[in-house]
Amino acid sequence: MDRNEKLSEHFTFGELIRSEMAERKGIDNTPPQDLIPKLKRICEKLLEPVRKHYGVPFRPNSGYRSPELNKEIGGAKKSQHCLAEAVDIEVAGVSNYDLSVWIRDNLDFDQVILECYRQGEPTSGWVHVSLKDSGATNRSVALTYSNRKYSEGLIA
């Protein structure tokens, strides 16, 4: 698939597989063909609604991760990024806490995790959001990850 091919109105294949670490380490971060529909689903059901709501162009920080890349960056062994079910995002001008709350209150998702957010620093951290395949049950779990531990709920 061409990196410039659109997966949705505003997001390209290249944006969902982009990784500076993969480029530096020479890791091929191209997903298997059977995962591409899942990347399209992430774009259509998560990224596009966020883009539409805030009206601000943004690029995912991290989308699909090959198992080799995930291992290199120290990702969770069962990371949903490796299944093309997760994306990490930030939106310029929007507090990551506010973004995570909006996702929790307005979208269908498996997990939304406010990661490494520091109170009083609205742009600190990022928001991890995942979505399982259509037909699978999404858990709608909201968590905060801070100081190397997970807490239930979104904590500012």
pTM to 2 decimals? 0.95
Q: Which domain holds residue 103?
A: 13-152
Q: What is the CATH number of the domain that holds 90?
A: 3.30.1380.10
Question: Checking DSSP bridges between strand 111-115 and strand 141-146, what pairing results, if any?
Answer: parallel
Instruction: Work out how many domains the chain is built from and give that number.
Output: 1
In a domain, 105, yes or no: yes
DSSP label of 93: T
In a domain, 103, yes or no: yes
82-130 pLDDT, tens per residue? 999 999 999 999 999 999 999 999 999 999 999 999 999 999 999 999 9
80-92 pLDDT, tens per residue? 999 999 999 999 9
In a domain, 61, yes or no: yes
In a domain, 135, yes or no: yes
Q: CA-to-CA distance for 62 and 64, rounded, in angstroms?
A: 7
In a domain, 7, yes or no: no
